[in-house]
């Protein structure tokens, strides 16, 4: 309990980083080991993130592989890749041998094909080597690419006593035993057991008699996001992975799903901000520019479109209607805000699999919601404009335009992510500059068109 408390209270300080750097510079290995052994491997990874590459490599080479393998998996992928480039294939193979198969495959996958072959050839455990090669063959975004081969498997014909003996041998390679999976003689998944089931059952009972047959599973080629939805829906700590013949291949644990959800949330957040690639603050200026520029360019095109619309109406509006241009930023802002709100709710619903019913039903609901919001906001705006300008028709034109703009923005914000999702495109892209820019253009066009119609100019 004290160890957990210490880990929770860990804080990375400049003094700690400086102390580590001095010990590395002095090559004071004994004191450096003693210092780092006080911390959890995740804390050490955080320390390495702040060291320069040479010092980080020095620490990795100094500590034992059982510790450093866990540290490497906690590091940011870019930093881990750079460290691996500074390790020999023999050193990497030693790290890989200490990891579960899923983490081992992830680490090997970061290497070039040539180095992958060298590292795999130096793994001494034949079974471990074969399982890593099997996992590398799967797409990283599928259940197969995420699963681990380590699990506890028993056959339906075994007795409870025989099962427990065999579990002891299997469990030494499994970090956490969430469930015991029951298979038939062909290794097809037919059920599951909890450890409680085994403990309370009679030693001579057959496994087939006590196994639960309502076991959830995922296909090896299922998308990882679909796997995450299943595990989230049913509150599973682990889920077995099967092939077309329902043969048990591996399992996916909740810690891997948490990583998937975090990565997806990061990607969606960047898409919503108008960033088209997976980038981080420490990436190069060129990489950051490539990620941001496409949507910024879209915003520029949208601004030019808005300028053309306003220029057209400026020529056709009398001088007394210049007040309309003063409300243009308000109309554009309201259109953008409503569109982003609508799209954000739909995108969140799609991510959580909460969006049910037809697109038409969704659009009708959003139209009614937008109309209600629009009426409330436009009443306030009508009173303000009328009090300011003492012009009933002008106040009516601006407030009615706002209602129309809000309704259209809500419909666009709802339809676009639904449409993208139907086409297999990540709908998170709809919550960013795409929605804001399109609603700005449509909003300004509708605004001036309705104002011109009501004012009769």
Structural domain containing residue 46: 2-140
Residue 133: the pLDDT is 94
Residue 306 has pLDDT above 90, yes or no: no
Domain count, the chain: 3
Q: Are residues 162 and 119 part of one domain? A: no
| Within a domain: 273 | no
Residue 6 has pLDDT above 50, yes or no: no
* Range in 146-150, 247-251, 267-271, 295-299 with the lowest mean pLDDT: 267-271
Residue 266: the pLDDT is 65
Provide the mean pLDDT of the chain.
83
* Range in 30-34, 186-190, 213-217, 418-422 with the lowest mean pLDDT: 418-422
| Within a domain: 296 | yes
Q: Are residues 213 and 108 part of one domain? A: no
Q: Are residues 192 and 108 part of one domain? A: no
| Within a domain: 279 | no
Which pLDDT tens digit goes with each residue over 155-171? Answer: 999 998 888 887 777 66
Last residue of a domain, one of 210, 235, 253: 253
| Within a domain: 13 | yes
Last residue of a domain, one of 203, 234, 253: 253
Q: Are residues 136 and 156 part of one domain? A: no
| Within a domain: 145 | no
Residues 285, 305: Cα–Cα separation, whole Å? 29
State the pLDDT confidence band at 321, using cuts at 50, 70 and 90.
low
Residue 243 has pLDDT above 90, yes or no: yes
Residue 116: the pLDDT is 94
Q: Are residues 105 and 10 part of one domain? A: yes
| Within a domain: 36 | yes
Q: Are residues 249 and 295 part of one domain? A: no
Asked if 457 and 321 touch (Cβ cutoff 8 Å), the reply is yes
| Within a domain: 209 | yes
Tokens 């068109």 belong to residue: 449
Q: Are residues 355 and 448 part of one domain? A: yes
Residue 457: the pLDDT is 66
Residue 423 has pLDDT above 70, yes or no: yes
Q: Are residues 51 and 175 part of one domain? A: no
- Torsion sign, CA atoms 239, 237, 76, 273: positive
Residue 283: the pLDDT is 61
| Within a domain: 325 | yes
The token pair that represents 121 in the structure block: 């050839």
CATH number of 168's domain: 3.10.580.10
Residue 5 has pLDDT above 50, yes or no: no
DSSP β-ladder status, 180-183 and 189-193: antiparallel
* Range in 31-35, 62-66, 314-318, 384-388 with the lowest mean pLDDT: 314-318
Instruction: Concatenate the DSSP letters of all residues of 87-146 into one string.
Output: S-HHHHHHHHHTS-HHHHHHHHHTS-HHHHHHHHHT---HHHHHHHHHHHTS-TTBHHHH
Helices (H), 317-432: 323-326, 328-351, 359-389, 392-422
Q: Are residues 18 and 136 part of one domain? A: yes
Single pTM value for the model: 0.66
Residues 230, 241: Cα–Cα separation, whole Å? 12
Using alpha carbons, list the distances in angstroms from residue 174 to 108, 177, 253, 268, 297: 20, 6, 11, 33, 51
The token pair that represents 358 in the structure block: 């037809």
Q: Are residues 249 and 329 part of one domain? A: no
CATH number of 433's domain: 1.10.357.20
Q: Are residues 434 and 321 part of one domain? A: yes
Region of residue 99 (phi > 0: left; psi between -120 and 50: alpha; otherwise: beta): beta
Q: Which is higher by pLDDT, 310 or 269?
A: 310
Last residue of a domain, one of 253, 274, 300: 253
Q: Are residues 166 and 35 part of one domain? A: no
What is the rounded radius of gyration, in angstroms, for the C-alpha atoms of the chain?
30
DSSP β-ladder status, 180-183 and 152-155: parallel
Q: How far is CA 154 from the centre of its chain?
A: 34
């Amino acid at each position: 309990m004290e160890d957990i408390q210490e880990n929770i209270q860990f804080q990375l300080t400049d003094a700690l980083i400086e102390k580590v750097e001095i010990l590395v510079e002095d090559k004071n290995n004994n004191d450096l080991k003693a210092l780092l052994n006080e911390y959890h491997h995740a804390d050490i990874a955080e320390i390495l993130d702040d060291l320069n590459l040479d010092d980080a490599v020095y620490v990795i080479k100094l500590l034992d592989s059982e510790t450093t393998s866990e540290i490497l998996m906690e590091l940011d992928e870019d930093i881990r890749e750079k460290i691996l480039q500074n390790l020999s294939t023999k050193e990497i193979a030693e790290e890989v041998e200490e990891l579960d198969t899923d983490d081992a495959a992830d680490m090997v996958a970061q290497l070039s094909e040539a180095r992958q072959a060298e590292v795999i050839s130096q793994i001494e455990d034949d079974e471990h080597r074969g399982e890593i090669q099997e996992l590398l063959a799967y797409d990283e975004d599928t259940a197969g690419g995420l699963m681990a081969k380590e699990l506890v498997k028993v056959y339906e014909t075994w007795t409870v006593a025989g099962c427990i003996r065999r579990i002891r041998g299997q469990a030494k390679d499994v970090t956490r035993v969430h469930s015991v999976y029951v298979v038939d003689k062909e290794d097809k998944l037919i059920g599951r057991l909890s450890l409680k089931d085994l403990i309370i059952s009679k030693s001579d009972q057959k496994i087939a008699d006590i196994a639960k047959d309502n076991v959830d599973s995922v296909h090896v080629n299922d998308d990882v996001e679909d796997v995450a939805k299943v595990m989230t829906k049913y509150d599973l700590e682990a889920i077995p992975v099967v092939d077309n013949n329902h043969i048990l291949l591996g399992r996916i644990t909740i810690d891997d799903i948490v990583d998937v959800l975090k990565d997806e949330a990061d990607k969606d957040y960047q898409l919503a901000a108008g960033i088209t690639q997976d980038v981080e603050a420490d990436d190069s200026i060129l990489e950051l520019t490539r990620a941001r520029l496409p949507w910024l360019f879209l915003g520029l095109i949208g601004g030019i479109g808005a300028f053309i619309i306003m220029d057209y109406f400026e020529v056709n509006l009398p001088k007394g209607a210049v007040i309309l241009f003063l409300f243009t930023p308000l109309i554009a802002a309201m259109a953008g805000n409503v569109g982003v709100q609508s799209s954000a709710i739909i995108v969140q619903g799609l991510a959580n699999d909460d969006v049910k019913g037809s697109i038409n039903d969704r659009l009708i609901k959003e139209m009614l919601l937008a109309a209600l919001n629009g009426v409330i906001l436009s009443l306030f705006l009508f009173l303000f404009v009328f009090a300011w300008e003492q012009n009933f028709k002008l106040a009516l034109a601006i407030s009615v335009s706002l209602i129309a703009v809000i309704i259209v923005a809500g419909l666009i914000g709802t339809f676009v992510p639904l449409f993208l999702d139907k086409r297999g495109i990540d709908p998170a892209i709809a919550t960013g500059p795409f929605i804001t820019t399109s609603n700005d253009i449509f909003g300004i066009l509708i605004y001036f068109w309705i104002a011109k119609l009501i004012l009769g100019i």
